[in-house]
Homo-oligomer: A and B are copies of this chain.
Amino acid sequence: MKELEERIKAVGTVLPGNVLKVDGFLNHQVDPDLMQKIGEAFAARFKAAGVTKIWTVESSGIAPAVMTGLAMHCPVIFARKHKSLTLTDGLYTADVYSYTKQVTNQISIAQKYVAKDERVLIIDDFLANGQAVTGLMEIANQAKVEVVGAGIVIEKAFQPGRQELEAKGIPVMSLARIQSLAGGQVEFAPADEGE
Protein backbone atom coordinates (compact mmCIF):
# COMPACT_ATOMS: atom_id res chain seq x y z
CA MET A 1 0.00 0.00 0.00
CA LYS A 2 1.84 2.98 -1.34
CA GLU A 3 0.38 5.61 0.99
CA LEU A 4 1.28 3.48 4.00
CA GLU A 5 4.86 2.95 2.84
CA GLU A 6 5.23 6.67 2.25
CA ARG A 7 3.91 7.42 5.72
CA ILE A 8 6.33 4.95 7.29
CA LYS A 9 9.19 6.60 5.40
CA ALA A 10 8.02 10.08 6.40
CA VAL A 11 7.29 9.65 10.11
CA GLY A 12 8.50 6.21 11.20
CA THR A 13 11.68 6.07 13.24
CA VAL A 14 14.04 3.15 13.63
CA LEU A 15 15.29 2.36 17.11
CA PRO A 16 18.05 -0.03 18.15
CA GLY A 17 17.06 -3.71 18.07
CA ASN A 18 15.15 -3.50 14.78
CA VAL A 19 12.29 -1.58 16.38
CA LEU A 20 10.22 0.51 13.97
CA LYS A 21 8.34 3.21 15.81
CA VAL A 22 5.14 4.35 14.11
CA ASP A 23 3.46 6.10 16.99
CA GLY A 24 2.86 9.11 14.76
CA PHE A 25 -0.03 7.49 12.87
CA LEU A 26 -0.67 3.95 14.15
CA ASN A 27 -0.06 3.10 17.78
CA HIS A 28 -0.23 6.27 19.84
CA GLN A 29 -1.35 9.00 17.49
CA VAL A 30 -3.73 7.51 14.92
CA ASP A 31 -4.65 8.82 11.46
CA PRO A 32 -8.30 7.76 11.08
CA ASP A 33 -8.45 8.44 7.32
CA LEU A 34 -5.43 6.23 6.70
CA MET A 35 -6.92 3.58 9.02
CA GLN A 36 -10.09 3.61 6.92
CA LYS A 37 -8.10 2.95 3.75
CA ILE A 38 -6.27 0.16 5.55
CA GLY A 39 -9.58 -1.36 6.64
CA GLU A 40 -10.92 -1.16 3.10
CA ALA A 41 -7.83 -2.90 1.72
CA PHE A 42 -8.23 -5.81 4.15
CA ALA A 43 -11.95 -6.01 3.42
CA ALA A 44 -11.29 -6.17 -0.32
CA ARG A 45 -8.68 -8.91 0.12
CA PHE A 46 -10.81 -11.10 2.38
CA LYS A 47 -14.28 -10.35 1.02
CA ALA A 48 -14.71 -13.88 -0.38
CA ALA A 49 -13.58 -15.61 2.81
CA GLY A 50 -16.97 -15.62 4.53
CA VAL A 51 -15.67 -13.68 7.52
CA THR A 52 -18.13 -13.59 10.44
CA LYS A 53 -15.90 -11.93 13.03
CA ILE A 54 -12.70 -9.93 13.25
CA TRP A 55 -10.29 -10.56 16.12
CA THR A 56 -7.43 -8.39 17.27
CA VAL A 57 -5.47 -7.70 20.47
CA GLU A 58 -5.66 -4.45 22.42
CA SER A 59 -4.58 -1.70 21.99
CA SER A 60 -2.79 -1.00 18.74
CA GLY A 61 -4.82 -3.50 16.73
CA ILE A 62 -8.13 -1.84 17.54
CA ALA A 63 -8.09 1.04 15.05
CA PRO A 64 -7.27 -1.01 11.92
CA ALA A 65 -9.54 -3.86 13.09
CA VAL A 66 -12.54 -1.60 13.68
CA MET A 67 -12.06 0.04 10.28
CA THR A 68 -11.93 -3.40 8.66
CA GLY A 69 -15.11 -4.28 10.54
CA LEU A 70 -16.73 -1.11 9.27
CA ALA A 71 -15.86 -1.97 5.68
CA MET A 72 -17.11 -5.56 6.12
CA HIS A 73 -20.07 -4.71 8.41
CA CYS A 74 -18.74 -7.33 10.76
CA PRO A 75 -18.27 -7.24 14.55
CA VAL A 76 -14.79 -6.97 16.04
CA ILE A 77 -13.44 -8.49 19.23
CA PHE A 78 -10.34 -7.09 20.84
CA ALA A 79 -8.70 -9.65 23.09
CA ARG A 80 -7.85 -8.26 26.50
CA LYS A 81 -4.21 -8.36 27.53
CA HIS A 82 -3.34 -9.08 31.16
CA LYS A 83 -0.21 -9.79 33.15
CA SER A 84 -1.94 -12.99 34.21
CA LEU A 85 -5.44 -14.05 35.11
CA THR A 86 -6.60 -15.78 38.23
CA LEU A 87 -10.26 -15.83 37.24
CA THR A 88 -10.64 -17.35 33.81
CA ASP A 89 -14.25 -18.56 34.03
CA GLY A 90 -15.98 -18.03 30.74
CA LEU A 91 -12.76 -17.01 28.98
CA TYR A 92 -10.56 -18.48 26.34
CA THR A 93 -6.96 -17.55 27.15
CA ALA A 94 -3.52 -17.88 25.59
CA ASP A 95 -0.03 -16.71 26.52
CA VAL A 96 1.68 -14.20 24.24
CA TYR A 97 5.35 -13.34 24.57
CA SER A 98 6.43 -9.90 23.42
CA TYR A 99 10.01 -9.85 22.13
CA THR A 100 9.98 -6.04 22.10
CA LYS A 101 8.87 -5.72 25.71
CA GLN A 102 10.33 -9.07 26.86
CA VAL A 103 7.24 -9.91 28.83
CA THR A 104 4.59 -12.61 28.64
CA ASN A 105 0.98 -11.47 28.69
CA GLN A 106 -2.13 -13.52 28.76
CA ILE A 107 -4.76 -12.59 26.21
CA SER A 108 -8.40 -13.48 26.65
CA ILE A 109 -11.66 -13.57 24.72
CA ALA A 110 -15.05 -14.11 26.37
CA GLN A 111 -16.50 -17.44 25.34
CA LYS A 112 -19.98 -16.01 24.97
CA TYR A 113 -18.89 -13.88 22.02
CA VAL A 114 -17.57 -16.83 20.03
CA ALA A 115 -20.29 -18.60 18.07
CA LYS A 116 -20.13 -22.05 16.58
CA ASP A 117 -19.00 -22.03 12.93
CA GLU A 118 -17.40 -18.61 13.33
CA ARG A 119 -14.99 -17.65 10.53
CA VAL A 120 -12.38 -15.36 12.02
CA LEU A 121 -10.19 -12.77 10.31
CA ILE A 122 -7.27 -11.69 12.49
CA ILE A 123 -6.09 -8.09 12.13
CA ASP A 124 -2.99 -6.70 13.81
CA ASP A 125 -0.73 -3.71 13.56
CA PHE A 126 2.56 -5.64 13.39
CA LEU A 127 3.71 -9.10 12.43
CA ALA A 128 7.23 -9.98 13.51
CA ASN A 129 7.56 -13.29 15.32
CA GLY A 130 3.85 -13.94 15.04
CA GLN A 131 3.26 -14.28 18.76
CA ALA A 132 0.03 -12.28 18.97
CA VAL A 133 -1.54 -13.94 15.94
CA THR A 134 -0.45 -17.36 17.20
CA GLY A 135 -2.09 -16.61 20.54
CA LEU A 136 -5.36 -15.73 18.81
CA MET A 137 -5.07 -18.91 16.73
CA GLU A 138 -4.64 -20.91 19.90
CA ILE A 139 -7.88 -19.39 21.18
CA ALA A 140 -9.60 -20.22 17.88
CA ASN A 141 -8.38 -23.76 18.35
CA GLN A 142 -9.83 -23.98 21.85
CA ALA A 143 -13.11 -22.56 20.55
CA LYS A 144 -13.05 -24.85 17.51
CA VAL A 145 -13.58 -22.00 15.07
CA GLU A 146 -11.72 -21.37 11.85
CA VAL A 147 -9.18 -18.62 11.19
CA VAL A 148 -9.58 -17.66 7.53
CA GLY A 149 -6.72 -15.18 7.29
CA ALA A 150 -4.52 -12.56 8.87
CA GLY A 151 -4.41 -8.92 7.81
CA ILE A 152 -1.26 -7.15 8.96
CA VAL A 153 -0.56 -3.45 8.69
CA ILE A 154 3.25 -3.73 8.90
CA GLU A 155 5.15 -6.99 8.51
CA LYS A 156 8.78 -7.38 9.44
CA ALA A 157 9.58 -9.70 6.55
CA PHE A 158 13.00 -10.49 8.00
CA GLN A 159 11.41 -12.18 11.01
CA PRO A 160 9.69 -15.57 10.94
CA GLY A 161 6.07 -14.63 11.69
CA ARG A 162 4.72 -15.00 8.16
CA GLN A 163 6.36 -18.37 7.51
CA GLU A 164 4.91 -19.74 10.71
CA LEU A 165 1.40 -18.62 9.83
CA GLU A 166 1.62 -19.82 6.25
CA ALA A 167 2.94 -23.17 7.48
CA LYS A 168 -0.33 -23.46 9.40
CA GLY A 169 -2.29 -22.70 6.24
CA ILE A 170 -3.28 -19.14 7.16
CA PRO A 171 -3.28 -16.66 4.25
CA VAL A 172 -1.47 -13.50 5.25
CA MET A 173 -1.96 -10.07 3.74
CA SER A 174 0.51 -7.40 4.81
CA LEU A 175 0.03 -3.85 3.58
CA ALA A 176 3.66 -2.91 4.11
CA ARG A 177 6.53 -5.39 4.31
CA ILE A 178 9.80 -4.29 5.85
CA GLN A 179 12.79 -6.01 4.27
CA SER A 180 15.39 -4.37 6.47
CA LEU A 181 15.88 -1.70 9.09
CA ALA A 182 19.68 -1.92 8.92
CA GLY A 183 21.53 1.31 9.55
CA GLY A 184 18.30 2.96 10.63
CA GLN A 185 17.01 2.88 7.05
CA VAL A 186 13.60 1.43 6.17
CA GLU A 187 13.73 -0.84 3.13
CA PHE A 188 10.56 -2.40 1.84
CA ALA A 189 9.92 -5.82 0.34
CA PRO A 190 7.16 -6.07 -2.26
CA ALA A 191 3.80 -5.80 -0.47
CA ASP A 192 1.05 -8.37 -0.92
CA GLU A 193 -1.34 -7.69 -3.73
CA GLY A 194 -5.08 -7.64 -3.17
CA GLU A 195 -7.21 -10.27 -4.87
Contacts and interface: CB of A to CB of B under 8 A. Distances in A.
Interface string A66-94: 11011001111110100000000000000
Given A58-B58, A66-B35, A67-B66, A77 B28 contact: yes
Contact size class for A? 20 to 34
Contacts of A58: 58-59
A74 B25 CA distance: 11
Contact of A29 (B28, B30, B33, B76): B76
A33 B69 CA distance: 8
A164 interface: no
Interface of A: 23-25, 28-33, 35-36, 58-59, 62-63, 66-67, 69-70, 73-78, 80, 109-110, 113
Contacts of A69: 30, 32
Contacts of A75: 25, 29-32
B113 A67 contact: no
A125 to B, nearest CB: 12
Given A30-B77, A59-B62, 20 more contacts: A23-B113, A28-B109, A29-B75, A29-B113, A30-B62, A30-B66, A30-B75, A30-B78, A32-B69, A32-B74, A32-B75, A33-B70, A33-B73, A35-B66, A35-B70, A36-B70, A58-B58, A59-B80, A62-B62, A67-B70
A103 to B, nearest CB: 12
Contacts of A35: 66, 70
A58 B30 CA distance: 12
Contacts of A31: 75
Contacts of A76: 29-30, 32, 63
Contacts of A80: 28, 59
26 contacts: A28-B77, A28-B78, A29-B75, A29-B76, A29-B113, A30-B62, A30-B69, A30-B75, A30-B76, A30-B77, A30-B78, A32-B67, A32-B69, A32-B70, A32-B73, A32-B74, A32-B75, A32-B76, A36-B70, A58-B59, A62-B62, A62-B63, A62-B66, A63-B63, A63-B76, A67-B70
